[in-house]
Structure formats: structure tokens, C-alpha cells
Structure 1
Amino acid sequence: MRLVFMGTPDFSVPALHALHEAGHEIVAVYSQPPRPAGRGKALRPSPVQQAAEALGLCVRHPVSLRNKPEEWQAFADLNADVAIVAAYGLILPQPMLDAPRLGCLNIHASLLPRWRGASPVQSAILAGDTQSGVTIMQMEAGLDTGPMLLREAVPLTPQTTASTLHDTLSALGASMVVRILAHTPARLPTPHPQPEDGVTYAPRLTRDDGRIDWQQSADAIDRRIRALTPWPGTFTTLADGTVLKIGAAQPDPDMPASADPGTIVDDRLSVACGDGTIRLTRLQRPGKGMMEAEAFLRGQPLPAGTHLGTPHD
């Protein structure tokens, strides 16, 4: 088929590669513009732009598509059979949704209608879901509301992290979209409306979402750490305001909370929670890299009785 691909982050790259390897004609790739990055703040192209250019594909990166009829016409002039969208980052106006012969398909990292929105990977882990997955849907004007062409699930375990789930769903989405397009060029599989029941929304995350609230249960804190690492990252503070980033932790079901929430209760960085105890296993202090707890404690001892978090945590 004659395709347009639209995506920006690492999540989208496997789908681009899979479509290229399947022999589809990718007439253009749309991605977010290069952004300042690193200490020198030099402009860095997105992962999708880098992958597309390595494949010799034409890349476009408009800053905005809203009220841009010239962009809409340029998109329509590509005469694409279908556009594949995977974490692109810009809302497609209706003229662009209508331009490809078979419309625009979105690779969404959740089992719709659960976790529509910006952070489906993290939200599934935060909520303690037992499964996640990928939905290929026909795009329409609403936020992730379009009818579904294909939907496949993967299990979530107590060890699942945002990083591992991201990679699993990225690979799954690439496989699914290739299978979708293997149908006859004249049409796609028949889409089915999303159920009206079970709709939830995954909000856009901010840095403050990573603040550990020690009043929560050990299991909830563990899910937050697994869901929000590496971005936006989870953190707590010492009494002097020093920020400690938390990279990994392990709930201890055999150790009930024996102190006020946020209190370190032993020499292994076990912390009392609102319900239960959790042991911090990877930490980072300002100006240092993330390290295992044993190495961290050699540089900054945190004895039993140390309180983590602000008085409001």
C-alpha cells in the first residue's frame, strides 16, 4: 500500500521498520520537530525522524496542524491509501483524517476503551491492571474514540515496569499493523465500535506525579515506581530538602509497618508505608547516577529513624 507514517518517540520506530520491511511504499513520514537536548541544547531529531532518514524516507515536521489549510492540502496531495499514526503528538484535523483513501489508523497502547489518552502504559501499571495491550483503531475527531480493527492483550505481572511494557507493546503494535494491512488493498477489516462501558482516561503526566506519598500502601508505591520510571521518575525528599530519586523498590509482605509512614525502619532502606513496608533497592542523589542501595548507603548513610518526604506526604 501507499502509506504515510506519523510518529515521534521510540515507541513508534518498530512499526515504521515493520511497514518498510513488509514492502509498503511509505511516501512521507511526519514527526515532531527537532527539540533542544543535552547540555548544549543542540536540536535533536526525534527517534522516528532518525529512523526514517536512515531508511531514506522523506520526513516532514510541521510545528502545528491547527488552522493550517496549506498543510492539509500537502498531506492530501500525497494520495496515500492509509496513514498509520503511532504516538505522533499532534491532533489531526478532520481534513487530514479524511484525506487517505482508507483513512487514518492509530496504534494505541491500551485495550480500548480503557486508558484513552496520553499515558496508557503508565496508567495501566498504576491502577494495578492485570493486562494491557494494543488496539488498532480507525481515527476520528474524538480522543481515542474510533472504532477498533484489532485488539490484542498481554499480561501484567508484579514485575512489569513501564520500560518493559513499552517495549512489549511497541513490538506488538508493529506486528498488528502489518497484519492489518495484509488484507486486500481495496479494503481493511471491518471496524467495530468501542464498548460504551469501561471508558477510562490516562492523563498527561507531570513531574509531580512522581512524588512518593508514603501514606499509600507498599503495593501502591511499588506500582508508582514501576509505572513512572524512567519518566517522569519517582522521588522523595530528606528533611533538608534534598531530593532522592527512586529507581526501584520491593514491597516486603513479611514486614508490617512499625513506624509512621515515610520512616526508615532498618539498615536496608526498608520504609514504613500507610500499609506495609517497602525496601528501596535503587536510588539517586543529586549530581550522582542511579545506583544500587548498598552502594548508595556507602556514600550517604540513612539510618533507621530517618524520615522521608515532607510533613504533608
Structure 2
Amino acid sequence: MEKLKIVFMGTPDFAVPSLKLLIEECDVKAVLTQPDRPKGRGKMVAMSPVKELAVEYNIPVYQPIRLRKEQEIIDKIKEIEPDFIVVVAFGQILSKEVLDIPKYGCINLHGSLLPRFRGAAPVNYAVMAGDKVSGNTTMLMDEGLDTGDMLLKNEVEIDDEMTAGELYDKLMQTGAPLLLDTLNKLVNNEIVKEKQDDTLTCYAHLLNRDMANIDWNKSAYEIHNFIRGLNPFPIAYSYYNDKMMKVLKSKVLEEKTNKEPGTILKVNKDGIRVATNDGVLLIIKVQFPNKKALEVSEYIKGNTIEENIILHC
């Protein structure tokens, strides 16, 4: 049996395990990824993780700024006559012309149990919402944003301490076999497509640093989810004596207080106890400007954090 002909579209590390598995099991004819961009403190122009893997396997790479406007690349995809176009975190919406190219359709792997979270940051929003379960969904793409018919799903449990980064890593690994299973079952007519219920969806907007400011008037549980949902990016923060204090790890305590939300109640090797709207949150790991991220137990060995200071926006 001939291997499935694939055109793969993806950009970040999340897409790498999927591309690697498809290279092993299918015939990946071309890879599309976002243009090389400056990266890191030195702002050196760097390839995307997907491009790095494609180059390693000598697969042709195309980097459209906006695919729907670049007819030459679209024509190259048509020449390939792929069985599938596979999309994993590509970063561009496909036009109907592109969606209509492959024999069996364009398949997207999405890091959320659709229709729960559509959009750019479903992993973070699942953690911030306090969800106990997330997962991957494969879908048959249409012209909308994550609105296509659902195909297969798998689930990953989220415990109360898991960060968005940890969930991301799990979904990245479990998504690849789900994607391959989807392609094989579609070819053999073994999947019943399921339409999404638009009334059950939330939109997971792109994350930015402006939205990472901690609101201490929320509950300890909400703030804890906010902190782990924004780890490792953009990282939640508050201001201590007008200095930005990033908060990377926390814990909800079974304690109550009548102090104003944001008030530092106690500082010791366990962490920084802070009043919230309904109780107390323990900050365990922090990072101050131009300093390394440290456990509070380490930070206070050479620095002082005063009690009764009110953390603010």
C-alpha cells in the first residue's frame, strides 16, 4: 500500500512530534511554516522548530507571509496532489482554495477538547479556567477559526498544580498518534464526523504581558489557576514596592483573613502568604527584574520581603 501523501503546515515545537511521526509513517512532500524571525536577546534570525526538522529530513520548505496571497506556493501544493494537508499550530487561516486541494481534506490537530476552547491559546485558558481535563481534538478544517467538524479526541487530566507548560508538553506528545490515527481512519471511512456546538465554545485569545497582572480581589483558587495558566508565558505578576514581582508558583491555603486583598501576611521559608478576596494564597516561587527565578525560601536568604505591604496592579 502506498504511503499517504502529506503537505504539513506548522510552526512551533508543539507541531514537531506530529511532523516527525508523519515523516516516519507517511510521505511528507512539503512543509509550510512561518517565516524565520529574530529570536532571543541577540535577536538572531532563527528557523521555526518545524523548519529545523524538515531541513534535517531534506523536505522542501515554504514560508509564506500570508499563504492566501501567495499563488505560486498554492500552485506548488496543487502539483503535489496531496491526500491530506495536515495543520498543527501553523498560525494562518487557510482559504477555500487551499482547503479544497487535498483528496481527503485538511486536518487540524488542536490542543483542546473542542468546542470548549477555540483560538490561539487553548492550553493556557484550560488551566486558567480550572478545568480538570483537557485534551486534543482532530477536526476537518473549514474557513472558520477552529470551527470544523470534530473527528477524534483524547484526554489528559489536569491536576491542581499542573502549569500550562506541563499540559502543553503532554498534549504535544499525545497529539501525534491521535493525528496519525485520524488520517488512517478517514481513509478507511471509520470516523463519524461530529459538528461543533457553537454555544459551548469560548475563544482563547492570544496571550500578552498586559493581561498577566494579578487581581488580588479574586479568590485564592482563581489566582492560583491564573498563575499556573500563565506559566511559562507570559508569567503572572504583581508589584511589590513598585518593583515587578513575577509569580511562577503558588498554593491555595486553608486559611482565612480579614486583611485587604493583596496584603502580605507572612514571609518565611514556606513562601509569601498573601490575602485574597476569600482567603490566603502562598507564593512559592518569584522573579524580580534582572534576577533569576527563585523559590522564596532561597530568595529571602539575601533579600527582604516586608510583611503588611500591599501588592498592587
Same fold (TM over 0.5): yes
What's the CA shift for 1:31? 0.9
- Tell me, yes or no, if the aligned pair for 2:123 and 2:168 is still in contact at 8 Å: yes
What's the CA shift for 1:184? 7.2
- 2:249 corresponds in structure 1 to 248
Give the secondary-structure state (helix, strand or coil) at the position aligned to 2:200: coil
- 1:142 corresponds in structure 2 to 144
- 1:309 corresponds in structure 2 to 312
Query: TM-score of the superposition, structure 2-length normalised?
Result: 0.94
Deviation per residue, 1:63-120 (Å, 9 max, x gap): 1123333332222222111011000001111111111111110001111111011111
- Tell me, yes or no, if the aligned pair for 2:139 and 2:148 is still in contact at 8 Å: yes
- 1:231 corresponds in structure 2 to 233
- 2:265 corresponds in structure 1 to 265
Query: One-letter code of the match for 2:305?
Result: L
- 2:86 corresponds in structure 1 to 84
Correspondence for 1:200 among 199, 202, 207: 202
Give the secondary-structure state (helix, strand or coil) at the position aligned to 1:266: strand
Correspondence for 2:56 among 42, 54, 57: 54
Q: Hey, what's the Cα distance between the residues in 1 that align with 2:61 and 2:257?
A: 55
Q: Hey, what's the Cα distance between the residues in 1 that align with 2:65 and 2:214?
A: 35
| 1:1-313 to 2 correspondences below 5 Å | 1-22=4-25, 24-183=26-185, 185=187, 189-239=191-241, 241-253=242-254, 255-268=255-268, 269-310=272-313
What's the CA shift for 1:266? 0.8
Q: Hey, what's the Cα distance between the residues in 1 that align with 2:187 and 2:260?
A: 63
Query: One-letter code of the match for 1:283?
Result: V
Classify 1:156/1:186 alpha carbon distance in 2 versus 1 (closer, same or farther; 3 Å): closer
Specify every segment of 5 or more residues in structure 2 that has no aligned partner in the other structure, as ranges: none
Query: One-letter code of the match for 1:264?
Result: I
CA RMSD across the alignment: 1.5
Q: Hey, what's the Cα distance between the residues in 2 that align with 1:5 and 1:154?
A: 25
- Tell me, yes or no, if the aligned pair for 1:97 and 1:104 is still in contact at 8 Å: yes
Deviation per residue, 1:194-248 (Å, 9 max, x gap): 2344122111211122111111111111001110011111111123x21111111
Q: Hey, what's the Cα distance between the residues in 2 that align with 1:299 and 1:9?
A: 38
What's the CA shift for 1:7? 0.7
Give the secondary-structure state (helix, strand or coil) at the position aligned to 1:303: coil
- Tell me, yes or no, if the aligned pair for 2:33 and 2:51 is still in contact at 8 Å: yes
- Tell me, yes or no, if the aligned pair for 1:257 and 1:274 is still in contact at 8 Å: no
Q: Hey, what's the Cα distance between the residues in 2 that align with 1:46 and 1:257?
A: 48
Specify every segment of 5 or more residues in structure 1 that has no aligned partner in the other structure, as ranges: none
Q: Hey, what's the Cα distance between the residues in 2 that align with 1:306 and 1:300?
A: 15
Aligned residues: 307
Q: Hey, what's the Cα distance between the residues in 1 that align with 2:117 and 2:81?
A: 32
Query: TM-score of the superposition, structure 1-length normalised?
Result: 0.94
Deviation per residue, 1:48-74 (Å, 9 max, x gap): 111221222221111112333333222
- Tell me, yes or no, if the aligned pair for 1:180 and 1:188 is still in contact at 8 Å: no
Percent identity for Structure 1 against Structure 2 = 37
Classify 1:288/1:37 alpha carbon distance in 2 versus 1 (closer, same or farther; 3 Å): same
Q: Hey, what's the Cα distance between the residues in 2 that align with 1:38 and 1:165?
A: 24
- Tell me, yes or no, if the aligned pair for 2:128 and 2:225 is still in contact at 8 Å: yes
Query: One-letter code of the match for 1:3?
Result: I
- Tell me, yes or no, if the aligned pair for 2:62 and 2:73 is still in contact at 8 Å: no
- Tell me, yes or no, if the aligned pair for 2:5 and 2:82 is still in contact at 8 Å: yes
